[in-house]
Structure 1
């Protein structure tokens, strides 16, 4: 349970506080992912993503003091979102090392340790880099790259660590920054985007792996007996200029010939569905989409797309939703689209399991991108739209052939009318993206109308938008009606926490209404459940909204549980709430078939039915347990 209207109090280290090395070791183990993310964000982007990952881990692992002395002193500074002096000490050392790593070497002076390539950790034969994010993360990366190292550190310490400017100034000064005040002023020029700093784009602990040049490694192994000659030949070959507009474009060198692989890479063997097949087919999935786009006959473009899919080169930006394999096609895939989208040439392919998007600039193959999304089992509304491209904060969709109308709707304004999005050969006019900076003031969704009804889909930063539904688990309904829109409006902004998680659909279930004490009206309890394409990784939120509140508050959440879903259509959650009269209460609500609720821990209370209200002191910690009408227990979400 989470307490409402109560702000956390950050801990701080007293001036000159002595810290035992064991404290730092414990803080390093507990907060290692956060420290590595901090180092990764402060390091200069010019190092490259793979080297930044290894350097960030190396700097964090070297942050512990070398001698196990119990007299280590740390300066007074707020722990911000951290927990205690050990973490603050490590954070300061990580920032100092990251700033040193970004400073250029001076003349013949021996470089500092942080400026040298890390000895450990080392990875041979693989390139490691974080998962790619959306347009918002890319824009933020570019803005951070334009800042000086101290300004970048100031921005990250503010946004990621939640530190006040005074503490940031102290950390920068102790880390060797010559003008901490100037760094803070420079960081002010970049808009605050705290949520994006916590995205997977900047997580050096959740990594993708790609091989280094496999062909060259094999050549070196075969030439071991003639090392000098082989190295000379390989070096000469590596220096030869490449032709970016060759048959394979941005693809890596080809492997040994294989008949199956050759068939999969032959644009002449691409599957192209008859444009009228969807009208008579019993299926409504991607397999009946026709090939569309002005470049559907461009053999050279299609060959490059297939080659890059099978062998993405080192410069290709590759991303995949969680649980999606990124290997090459097993056979000739199906072509869904090939055409110009804004400033890029885009190819959309489908292999029965995945949607694959290849994009390259119109005048070059440098900067090509390859995106994968798992869509097995998609049908109907779940197979009605694919992202063609993102530009200037907008999203352009390719819609299914059975879609009759497309529109844009602000989910936060349930009473407002939708805005039509003209369709041209299945391509919809641009729709505002959902990457938000600062307060959530709108949440635009795609509204599609076909022969079965009207559906709402939300962009969560992936190739396929998530279908939104409302109602009891097992019998959800479309959100496009007035009741469904009102159900979703206060909870739309919570969709932001589901970005880049491979979400297939999200259902909102108003499971209880609870009268509030002190004549405060009635509160709504809503459970939102996000299902993923891979089956696991589901996320359940129990949200609580007081009368007149614009947004709901997350009272409890859980992952990979059957609660609030078709297999277990029950839920129980509680929250500490402060009334207008200043009194604190423990409120709990279960689904309608909950027979009783009881508390454990610091509060002893029980109630018959699915609602419980008990007055309690501020800060009380209590657990909940419930019993269903059939006698089975129901666990509370945590």
Structure 2
């Protein structure tokens, strides 16, 4: 992409798009098409920014192209006195904003001729650096109209007044507020020129085709290659700049497939890459292990990945494609670990672990897939190399300066230093629940406590625990609200208060094994003074987020004096939703509680914005309720927040 002045990341289109025409006639087809082709990349980029983030990057790419192409229809039906480009831009934004309001317009955009039909492949813009990633996350938190406003300010170079006018014409609900929100984003508009926000320059990845018959698989892959080729051809015609695949050929070709399985083509990061980047994830991992130069081993691992035999034990976290590499992956590790030889690859979206018997005989090979898109300094801090006899051996990231082990069920016991080899491989760590009676978590819950190097994060310590996947789970903690304080964000669970709270929730982590969980936050959303001077109780909501998106929440009641390792009373559960996340920051729950004096009470509590709680027995102002109630009482609870939102307890308790 050509360089542009910093004050206007993209050139103005108004002069080149507008010409004088005779009144009473329609815009000529050739002129409308010329305007679309000339400004196609800008229109697609605007649509991509404004479309709902929840649709996923693949669908956003397709929809952005669809909205840009269908805007031509409106231009052709407009009067000849109109300027073409503003008409195209208005229609693109109108379609994208309507999709954000979920009124059916987005579904309409998915139908009809012109939407590329890509089967067997998924497309997404190229990943950017740390600054682009930070901007992408900041924009994802904004409403659709604000994201559109940010695009008008950055992509179009409009001032705030002009941006408001464009949004108003496109049907935005609050143009002034949208522009004000976009203007408050502290970032450089020039970052919008990066590939992270360019749906005209895409990368492709395969979907999971394992369930399809071999013959159908070949046919669908060919159709997918043709479809992607058509999309890239259309983009090139419209002035885009698709990233060249290289001398190996286009995606889906035989040459590209062979190139992806060539050990010599493996991507290898330099040993010091992590010290010179703001993007601390698996892309910054160097290739380590005593077999990292063993071409025969690497070629065998790649071949098994592409075509696993029936004897190969294949596992994958939920939602993770098991498909062959579409291009040469990055090598993270190849070496001998205990009784096995292990190879770990990273393809930008997944970790793939290949393991074979170290002796070369006895036991089948194993292949494990795990989704790790969007990993960061904590969630990319360790990978499981081997599990044997109830122990796990990890490979830690190059930015990990210190490692220690601690027991979550003994919060007062200090962490014990954990030895690591020169390549970052840890000594064996006991697996949570190893040796425990079925249905119990045992007497210990081991966790890793890692500390990042001062070169990337000053004294940044964090907790990870093994839940049976290739990457351990990041544990965080949100403390209870303080009077007059602003809402608190999750923090690392290494402090005394966090460890004390996690001791009551650790055993319930076993329910999440093998579910592809990325992180779990223990949120102490309320504290309440109990009747009869029985002390203070806590209410927590443990929010587990998976790599693929869905999550689950578990609410507990923690009475005073409960043993450190004992789980709290289950007060609510949501198996698939947004409860207790930043997208749903309100929660309430209730339990029956027996006082030390032998009397029963209905107790309920809500998060910080709750102003009243109502039951069939009593009503209380504020965020807590305590009412005498006969043992076994069943009642209906509800709460109301400052904004008027009505809450009900999570089901499943």
Q: TM-score, normalised by structure 1?
A: 0.59
Q: 1:505-559 CA deviation, whole Å, 9 max, x = no partner?
A: 11111111122223322221111101111111x1111111111112212111113
For 1:592 and 1:334, the matched residues in 2 are separated by 45
State whether structure 2 residue 398 is matched by structure 1 residue 371: no
Partner residue, 1:317: 313
Q: Is the 8 A contact 1:510 1:526 kept in 2?
A: yes
In structure 2, the gaps of 5 or more residues are 1-207, 219-251, 480-486
> Secondary structure, in 3 states, of the residue corresponding to 1:493?
helix
Partner residue, 2:527: 513
For 1:361 and 1:355, the matched residues in 2 are separated by 20
Partner residue, 2:267: 271
Q: Report deviation, 1:363.
A: 2.2
Partner residue, 2:549: 535
> Secondary structure, in 3 states, of the residue corresponding to 2:498?
helix
Q: Which 4+ stretches in 1 moved above 4 angstroms?
A: 208-215
Match of 1:591 among 583, 597, 607: 607
Choose between structure 1 and 2 for higher RCO, CA contacts under 8 A separated by at least 6 residues.
1
For 1:394 and 1:285, the matched residues in 2 are separated by 25
Q: Report deviation, 1:429.
A: 1.1
Equivalent residue runs for 1:147-546 within 5 Å: 214=214, 258-364=254-360, 366-424=363-421, 425-436=423-434, 437-438=436-437, 439=440, 440-450=442-452, 451=454, 452=457, 453-471=460-478, 475-536=489-550, 538-546=551-559
Q: 1:126-149 CA deviation, whole Å, 9 max, x = no partner?
A: xxxxxxxxxxxxxxxxxxxxxxxx
Q: Is the 8 A contact 1:456 1:478 kept in 2?
A: yes
Q: Is the 8 A contact 1:586 1:615 kept in 2?
A: yes
For 2:213 and 2:311, the matched residues in 1 are separated by 12
For 2:213 and 2:527, the matched residues in 1 are separated by 60
Q: Report deviation, 1:210.
A: 5.0
For 1:393 and 1:543, the matched residues in 2 are separated by 29
For 1:213 and 1:591, the matched residues in 2 are separated by 51
> Secondary structure, in 3 states, of the residue corresponding to 1:427?
coil
Per mean C-alpha deviation after superposition, the further-off stretch among 586-595 and 516-525 is 516-525
Q: Is the 8 A contact 2:461 2:494 kept in 1?
A: yes
Structure-2 change in CA distance of 1:274 and 1:553 (3 Å): same
Q: Report deviation, 1:623.
A: 2.0
> Secondary structure, in 3 states, of the residue corresponding to 2:322?
coil
For 1:268 and 1:416, the matched residues in 2 are separated by 48
Q: 1:169-199 CA deviation, whole Å, 9 max, x = no partner?
A: xxxxxxxxxxxxxxxxxxxxxxxxxxxxxxx
For 2:643 and 2:214, the matched residues in 1 are separated by 61
For 2:505 and 2:488, the matched residues in 1 are separated by 20
For 2:557 and 2:645, the matched residues in 1 are separated by 25
For 1:621 and 1:500, the matched residues in 2 are separated by 35
Q: Is the 8 A contact 1:266 1:303 kept in 2?
A: yes
For 2:293 and 2:577, the matched residues in 1 are separated by 47
Q: Paired residues, what number?
A: 390
Q: Report deviation, 1:497.
A: 1.1
Match of 1:621 among 612, 634, 638: 634
For 1:276 and 1:517, the matched residues in 2 are separated by 59
For 1:211 and 1:631, the matched residues in 2 are separated by 48
Q: Is the 8 A contact 1:384 1:399 kept in 2?
A: yes
Q: Is the 8 A contact 2:433 2:444 kept in 1?
A: no
Q: TM-score, normalised by structure 2?
A: 0.57
Partner residue, 1:632: 645
In structure 1, the gaps of 5 or more residues are 1-207, 219-255
Cα root mean square deviation, aligned: 2.2
Q: 1:8-54 CA deviation, whole Å, 9 max, x = no partner?
A: xxxxxxxxxxxxxxxxxxxxxxxxxxxxxxxxxxxxxxxxxxxxxxx
For 1:281 and 1:587, the matched residues in 2 are separated by 50
Q: Report deviation, 1:619.
A: 2.0
Q: 1:406-443 CA deviation, whole Å, 9 max, x = no partner?
A: 11011111211111111211111111111342343111
For 2:490 and 2:318, the matched residues in 1 are separated by 25
Structure-2 change in CA distance of 1:410 and 1:604 (3 Å): same
Q: Report deviation, 1:209.
A: 9.5
Q: 1:206-256 CA deviation, whole Å, 9 max, x = no partner?
A: xx99569958x99xxxxxxxxxxxxxxxxxxxxxxxxxxxxxxxxxxxxx9
For 2:368 and 2:431, the matched residues in 1 are separated by 18
Structure-2 change in CA distance of 1:274 and 1:547 (3 Å): same
Q: Is the 8 A contact 1:474 1:566 kept in 2?
A: no
Q: Report deviation, 1:632.
A: 2.2
For 2:399 and 2:535, the matched residues in 1 are separated by 45
